[in-house]
Amino acid sequence: MLTRRKLGTSALLAALGFAARAETQTGESANVHEHGHDMSNMPASWHGDEQIVFLGYQGMTALDLIGPQYMLANLMGATVKVAAKSLDPIMTDTGITLVPDVTFEDAVKDPDVLCIPGGTLGTLDAMRDGATMEFVRQSGANAGYVTSVCTGTLLLGQAGLIDGYRVTSHWITRPMMEQFGAIPVNERVVVDRNRITGAGVTAGIDFGLMLLARMRDDDYAKGVQLLAEYDPQPPFDAGTPEKAPAHLTELLEGMFAVLGASVSESAAYR
């Protein structure tokens, strides 16, 4: 089977990361030439060595992770891993199966970035899982940036990592942040000291780009935005409870009517 590195060097969407590996791995210098990747205009300051860890867990939402992971995987020189309780395949809530890269034991304990994706009952289960919460607590205590997307904030809250912080979350769970001592903010991405939280699902893409600019510079983030052709043109303007037709907001609120109670129950496991 092809190795990650072999594919990494040939990916349009990991092109910047490829450039980095090409600069740092003599064995691949030939490939650079072969594939015609011209690094001559690449500032040395664009290369780093960050350790980035995403939490993986059963029932998580794939897009919560894959959106920002795409952006961070294009950080030249960075190492990006999905850490989970075991190396068992992770069944996500839309049916996509992901395989974690490392167990909690083998993951770096002081990552430059810790990112927690969301989910629903899978996230509630994770809130009650001792090993998972211990990993989030330890890694979060030592991480450079402590971040989440969507309902991932529930796990940051359960780990005591957002007490006293301004945070956002999926619009359904945003009001629930108060029980973790956090200050819910109705914004798509919220930065408070080294905590960076994204709103529901797709906010992870905007969050990822913002993080790239902080970890490199604006030009770097713009380059990855261009690589991702991120020029969003939603066919509708219904992406928030304020903008969506009231009957649709009420429908979704009804579908998750008891989620708040379930969150409080799980929070009691702290």
Contact positions with a second copy (CB under 8 A) in 163-182: 170-172
CA distance 132 to 107: 12
Determine, following the binding rule CB under 8 A, whether residue 249 of this chain makes contact with a second copy.
yes
**Where in 46-65 is the site for a second copy (CB under 8 A)?**
58-59, 61-65
Of the residues 26, 45, 130, 235, which one makes contact with a second copy according to CB under 8 A? 235
Min separation Cβ 93 and a second copy, Å: 3
Of the residues 49, 110, 121, 186, which one makes contact with a second copy according to CB under 8 A? 121
Q: At what angle are helices 203-215 and 218-227 packed, to 10 degrees?
A: 140
Beta carbon nearer to a second copy, 13 or 268: 13
Start-end of H helices in 174-232: 203-215, 218-227
Determine, following the binding rule CB under 8 A, whether residue 248 of this chain makes contact with a second copy.
yes
CB 23 within 8 A of CB 47: yes
Beta carbon nearer to a second copy, 106 or 250: 250
Beta carbon nearer to a second copy, 238 or 268: 238
Taking CB under 8 A as the rule, which mask of x and - marks residues 66-95 in contact with a second copy?
xx-xx--xx-----x-x-----xx-xxxxx
Beta carbon nearer to a second copy, 141 or 151: 151
Catalytic member of 76, 83, 150, 210: 150
Question: Could you tell me the two tokens for 215?
Answer: 């970890």
Beta carbon nearer to a second copy, 163 or 240: 240
Of the residues 77, 141, 222, 267, which one makes contact with a second copy according to CB under 8 A? 222
- The strands making up 145-149's β-sheet, listed across from edge to edge, are 102-103, 79-84, 51-55, 113-116, 145-149, 195-198, 189-192
CA distance 134 to 241: 34
Min separation Cβ 37 and a second copy, Å: 5
Report the candidate in 152, 179, 176 with the shortest Cα–Cα distance to residue 163: 179
Of the residues 110, 183, 243, 270, which one makes contact with a second copy according to CB under 8 A? 243
CA distance 259 to 173: 8
The count of other CB atoms within 10 Å of the CB of residue 29 is: 12
Determine, following the binding rule CB under 8 A, whether residue 113 of this chain makes contact with a second copy.
no
Q: Is 115 a catalytic residue?
A: no
Min separation Cβ 137 and a second copy, Å: 23
**Where in 126-145 is the site for a second copy (CB under 8 A)?**
none
Start-end of H helices in 143-269: 153-158, 203-215, 218-227, 246-255, 259-267
Q: Is 103 exposed, middle or buried, given 0-12, 13-18 or 19+ CB atoms closer than 10 A?
A: middle
Catalytic residues: 150
